[in-house]
Structure 1
Amino acid sequence: MNATRGLSTILRSASNSTQSVQSVIFPGVNLDVLEKTLKKCRNPMQFFQIQAQMIVSGYIHDAYASSRLVAFAASSKFIDLEHLPRVLLNISSPNQFSWNWVMRACVRRGRPRMTFSLYASMLERGDPCPDQYTHPIVFQACAFRKEETEGKQIHAHVQKFGFSSDVYVVNTMINFYSVCGNIVSARQLFDKSTSLDSVSWNSILSGYIGADEVESAVKVFDKMPERNLIASNSMIAFLARIGRPIEAYRLFEQMPVRDVVSWSAMISCFDQNGMQCDALKMFSTMFSEKVAVDEVVLVSVLSAAARLAAVKEGEMVHGLATKTGIVSYLNLNNALITMYSSFSDVSAAQKLFYSCPHLDQISANSMLSGYLKCRHLDDARRFFNLMPAKDAVSWSTMISGYAQNGQFSEALLLFQEMQIGGFIPDEPALVSILSASAHLTSLKQGSWVHAYVRRRRLSINPILGTALVDMYMKCGCVEDAAAVFEDMAEKGISTWNAMIAGLAANGFPSEALEKFSEMKRLGIAPNEVTFVGALSACRYLGAVAEGQRIFSSMTEEHHIQPNSLHYGCLVDLLAQAGLLRDAEEVIETMPIAPDVATLGALLGACKNHGDLEMGERVGKKMIDLEPDHDGAHVLLFNLYASRGMWAEAAEMRATMKQKNVTKIPGCSLVEAGGTVVEFFSGDGEQALRDPL
């Protein structure tokens, strides 16, 4: 029923028979009866009856009684927020207590604009004047909307009405300016205040933490007269977020009193900063000290167990959650689904998902991610198709799953469906599509993503920027890749790696080595991937001496142990230069077993340089290493054929047939109408024509 109509109906009934309404609600109007009747009020109709009786009897004009009615209405969820100002209007002179209650209700129910309107109406009436509790409520409304302009006007009112020295008012102003990002004004208020309390210190500390001003936050915390739990817990969480877990732990150890939030913040700190073992040890200590655990603590512990693949510990935490009766909590259940998925125990994840009485979108997305982590792509797609509701994360998760499992064409097709459905792709989805576009050399799709990023004015961070550079390089658009690279405000090591490898692969090995030198001049330490790109550039350039120098610098300067890729590049570099004996010596002395690719590089060079004896020796090693590898057989066949040894070539072909070793057919990709089509060598003319 409409609030106004409901009250009007009751008022008409009350006018016709005052006594009948009185008998329904209460026999005599007094404060004690009003309080008891309000306690029994359970719905809007009952409230309207009470309000109507107070109006008819005139009791509504009693200042204290009317304020109790307003307070009840403001704190009752079943009373429509729009009805609260009408309750005030029915009172001839509502006191400040009543105005404050209604304004506070507007803030708490997410309607800060109503708070501003009520405050303006109160000032227009001129009576009552704001008290020390009024302006803090209005500041909360301003903070809710980050309305700094209105807040500054209220600040002027605070000075006008003489509340500038009230600590409660000052604290809310400090918080308001901090929320609005104006930490300078917040600090000025803090420094000028003559009566600071713990809330004042907590407020300015929170402001610096919110502004990510590390040193200022540390200084304020160190100067606090008394470090309370709220401040200490906030600092632990802040130090965790900025990657300073050792300092966070030192602070934790110094705390004279800790609560469950302190333990939770410290465990989460370790987990966030890659110290999962320490997170589990911290939880063990917490448990041994008999500190009561809650849902938040267990979620952090499950995250650490998942990242460590600590199955036993994860199952123990699951058992503890069951024992304490919180296993059915939604966030905890979702964390368990994620943990078991990371253990590749998809059946346990399924059991949790389908047995949970309360599920949300996060639950469904967690289960979908679980299927994909376990590489159950078909199950994931079936689950995705049956999801009653999908959000951008659902689409992004499925697209990323396809891309990470090499199903690049499916990723592109699903991305097109996502667009048709009107969903806005998030960064993981865009990065996955760029990765798929790079692998399929789909320049049209990759360029669309770049145009989308520019159109939406999205910031290009190192992850997105690296994906763009990699896509353009693999599509052969070196200038576009370089333009993205140069425009990036922040570059990660992966960005440099994509640039160096891309330049080398696209026929610019000298430029790749220049980028490698530039990176080192800027103080950016190369990693394993960087050296693969640099050695590849030397290989394309034929720069043997430079390649050997870079290879040696891995261990001597950067303390990086070469892997099979690095040795493969060095062997290929030496072999292509005709230094076959040196290349073979590298293979024989390398501390790890050579793989087929490394041996294949030398075998191919043996064919090119006509070294039959070494070629046979290396080829047989390849076949011994992988008897079914087609490359070894084909390279040996070509070696024999190039030397006119047709009998040996025929024997090699017969061996391939006997072992059922077949040469993998060549594959071509054609982009047509936004779709990438694959064609294999040997496909008929009809097979080529039908997809197009």
Structure 2
Amino acid sequence: MLSRARRRRHLPLHALLPTPPRRRALRSLRAPESPPQTRDVFTLNSAITSCFRSGDVESARQLFDEMPHRNSVTWNCMVSGFVANRMISDARRVFDQMPAKNVVSSSALVAGYAKCGRVDEARDLFDRIPRKNVVCWNSMISGYALNGMIQKARELFDEMPLRNGVSFSIMISAYLRRRLVGEARALFDRAPSPSSSVTSLCNALLSGYVELGRVSDAEELFGKMDRRDVISWNVMITCYARGGRMDLAERLFDEMPEKDTVSWTAVLHGYLLNRDVDSAWKLFNNMPDKDAVTWNTMMGGFVQNGMFEDALRLFHAMPEWERDIVSWNTILQGYVRKGDMANANYFFGRMPRRSETSWNTLISGYEGEEALVLLSKMVREGFKPDQATLSVVISVTLTKCSSTLRKRDTIT
């Protein structure tokens, strides 16, 4: 598969950890020879956004601190960037320092609080916004829905002075996540149907059917749609791929009037779900364009199918600007699955950014006191352990208690 790569000498781990490209970009923006026009507010705002997207929060912060002039977009970029990286306290600090708050930054912060489960704080901020637009209302409704508070979401939805297709899509998706198909369908039938939103509403219902495994309902809706966009086709390809019906997934893929990277990745993921790594690899190499999700999907497929060396080489071949937290977590998981905790620890220490998944993955590789030490560090840094991590910690604690009791019995 990676025949050329296999003939190469195995690369040491440090060779896989180059300087993040955003840091290099940061240095070039600071360079004395950099012409003034490359350091205007627009360029710096774009650089800040780029840093946040790659998880290089410190570079984004440094660029912001060194900017001689900032505009409202700059402040919005900082708030949204911190929210996207789940650094809600930093987002709030920047928001409080804004010389003129606006609905964009307010909506981003509302969404951030909600994603972190801090719904009361999200609502408090929402209530303080003087002029709310539809995006702001949608952020709060989505926050309630994400936290399982569907009745609150519906009450706020009913209070909206103006709704758009996104508003209806949020509520339809929320009902379907709770398996309330009747309510979702009733709202779908009630929604206004301007040409600009009817397809997106159909897609929301279609996606819900697929997630619930209601393939016949999905097929019926897809067949009745007057206008299908690329999302509609991608959802159905995913539906068939998940069910192991790759012949139908391939047929739809071939029939699509236009394909995007998501379309290719959906088929790729289908092959990997069905353990057809050779077909996946062939498709991956034939793809006209690849994004981070594509690379991560292929890497994850290698790891899941016990082909970690191929995953590691693919990580090295991946363009630096495409690597994200999922890429790093995938390789970390590969080391842990192999039981290579020395390299897992080293790799974890070199990660430019860590998520709850990073910590939980590393802890899952230990069975002794190291798990307790890591859990303590994890909590101190503001991350939440998942059920698997808690199970490991409980097991370690019970083992320690049992050992202590045995020693006590021996002494007595």
| Coarse TM-score class (shorter-chain normalised) | 0.5 to 0.7
| 2:207 is aligned with 1:342 | no
Aligned residue pair count:
345
Change (3 A) 1:448 1:386: farther
Measured after TM superposition, the shift of residue 423 of structure 1 is: 3.9
**Aligned 8 A contact 2:165 2:197 in 1:** no
**Aligned 8 A contact 2:296 2:327 in 1:** yes
Change (3 A) 1:483 1:385: farther
| 2:285 is aligned with 1:415 | no
What whole-Å deviation, never above 9, does each CA across 1:114-172 have from its counterpart, x for those lacking one? xxxxxxxxxxxxxxxxxxxxxxxxxxxxxxxxx9833778xxxxxxxxxxxxxxxxxxx
Gaps of 5+ in 1: 1-146, 154-172, 191-201, 504-511, 553-573, 575-692
Alignment partners' CA distance in 1, 2:156 and 2:92: 31
| 2:103 is aligned with 1:232 | yes
What whole-Å deviation, never above 9, does each CA across 1:573-615 have from its counterpart, x for those lacking one? x9xxxxxxxxxxxxxxxxxxxxxxxxxxxxxxxxxxxxxxxxx
**Aligned 8 A contact 1:399 1:415 in 2:** yes
Alignment partners' CA distance in 1, 2:299 and 2:125: 43
Change (3 A) 1:477 1:250: closer
**Aligned 8 A contact 1:437 1:443 in 2:** yes
Match of 2:147 in 1: 275
**Aligned 8 A contact 1:268 1:300 in 2:** yes
Match of 2:259 in 1: 390
Alignment partners' CA distance in 2, 1:436 and 1:478: 21
| 2:195 is aligned with 1:318 | no
| 2:405 is aligned with 1:546 | no
Match of 1:29 in 2: none
Change (3 A) 1:346 1:513: same
**Aligned 8 A contact 2:172 2:185 in 1:** no
Measured after TM superposition, the shift of residue 488 of structure 1 is: 2.0
Measured after TM superposition, the shift of residue 389 of structure 1 is: 4.0
Match of 1:517 in 2: 372
Measured after TM superposition, the shift of residue 469 of structure 1 is: 2.7
| 2:387 is aligned with 1:528 | yes
Alignment partners' CA distance in 2, 1:516 and 1:500: 5
Alignment partners' CA distance in 2, 1:151 and 1:526: 43
Measured after TM superposition, the shift of residue 468 of structure 1 is: 1.4
Match of 2:96 in 1: 219
- Among 160, 163, 166, which residue is 1:296 paired with? 166
Alignment partners' CA distance in 2, 1:456 and 1:325: 42
Measured after TM superposition, the shift of residue 368 of structure 1 is: 1.6
SS at match of 1:522: helix
Change (3 A) 1:444 1:255: closer
**Aligned 8 A contact 1:466 1:494 in 2:** yes
- Among 316, 322, 347, which residue is 1:451 paired with? 316
Match of 1:90 in 2: none
- Among 453, 471, 488, which residue is 2:334 paired with? 471
Match of 2:25 in 1: none
Alignment partners' CA distance in 1, 2:76 and 2:390: 44
Match of 1:150 in 2: 37
Alignment partners' CA distance in 2, 1:180 and 1:439: 35
Give the letter aligned to residue 218 of structure 1.
F
Give the letter aligned to residue 333 of structure 2.
D
SS at match of 2:368: helix
| 2:227 is aligned with 1:358 | yes
Measured after TM superposition, the shift of residue 318 of structure 1 is: 0.9
Gaps of 5+ in 2: 1-33, 49-62, 83-89, 407-412
Alignment partners' CA distance in 1, 2:398 and 2:124: 51
Alignment partners' CA distance in 1, 2:302 and 2:81: 38
Match of 1:681 in 2: none
Change (3 A) 1:268 1:521: closer
TM-score by length of 2: 0.67
What whole-Å deviation, never above 9, does each CA across 1:247-284 have from its counterpart, x for those lacking one? 3311332455545344223213334xx22434x53334
Identity %: 20
SS at match of 1:529: helix
| 2:349 is aligned with 1:486 | yes
**Aligned 8 A contact 2:110 2:139 in 1:** no
Measured after TM superposition, the shift of residue 467 of structure 1 is: 2.2
Alignment partners' CA distance in 1, 2:65 and 2:341: 46
| 2:303 is aligned with 1:438 | yes
Change (3 A) 1:266 1:549: farther
Change (3 A) 1:261 1:152: closer
Alignment partners' CA distance in 2, 1:444 and 1:189: 46
Alignment partners' CA distance in 2, 1:219 and 1:498: 35
Alignment partners' CA distance in 2, 1:177 and 1:473: 39
Alignment partners' CA distance in 2, 1:183 and 1:527: 34
Report which structure shows greater RCO (CA 8 Å, sep ≥6): 2
**Aligned 8 A contact 1:346 1:374 in 2:** no
**C-alpha RMSD of matched pairs (Å):** 4.1
**Aligned 8 A contact 1:295 1:326 in 2:** no
